[in-house]
Amino acid sequence: MAIVTDIRENRGMVEIILEGSAFARMRKSHFDKCPLAAGDDIDEAAWLDRVAAVQFADAYEAALSSLDRSARTAHDLTTALRRRGIVQPAIDTVLARLTENGLIDDARYARRMAELQASKPVGLYAFKRKLRAKGISDDDAQDALAAFDDDQQRAAALQAAQKLCKKYEALPEREARAKLSQALARRGFAWDAIESAVESLFG
163 and 97 housed in the same domain: no
Are the beta carbons of 111 and 144 closer than 8 angstroms? yes
Residue span of the structural domain in which 194 resides: 121-202
Instruction: Tell whether 11 and 72 lie within a shared domain.
Output: yes
Query: pLDDT tens digit string along 176-197?
Result: 999 999 999 999 999 999 999 9
DSSP string, 66-111: HHHHS---HHHHHHHHHHTT--HHHHHHHHHHHHHTTS--HHHHHH
For residue 201, what are the CA distances in angstroms to 168, 182, 195? 12, 15, 10
| Inside any domain, residue 38 | yes
Whether residues 8 and 99 fall in one domain: yes
Q: Are residues 128 and 77 in the same domain?
A: no
Is 128 in the same domain as 96? no
Boundary of a domain, candidates 70, 104, 138? 104
Query: What are φ and ψ of residue 105, in 5° steps?
Result: -155, 100
Backbone φ/ψ region at 104: left (φ over 0), alpha (ψ -120 to 50), beta:
beta
Question: Are residues 128 and 171 located together in one domain of the fold?
Answer: yes
3-state secondary structure labels for all residues of 99-168: HHCCCCCHHHHHHHHHHHHCCCCCCHHHHHHHHHHCCCCHHHHHHHHHHCCHHHHHHHHHHHHHHHHHHH
112 assigned to some structural domain = no
The answer to whether residues 93 and 135 belong to one domain is no
114 domain-assigned = no
Same-domain pairing of 98 and 174: no
CA distance 14 to 193: 53
Given a cut of 90, whether residue 113 has pLDDT beyond it is: no
pTM of the model: 0.78
- Residue pLDDT, tens place only, 120-171: 898 999 999 999 999 999 888 888 888 888 999 999 999 999 999 888 888 8
Counting the structural domains of the chain, the total is 2
CATH at 70: 1.10.10
Residue 110 lies in a domain: no
Q: Is residue 115 part of a domain?
A: no
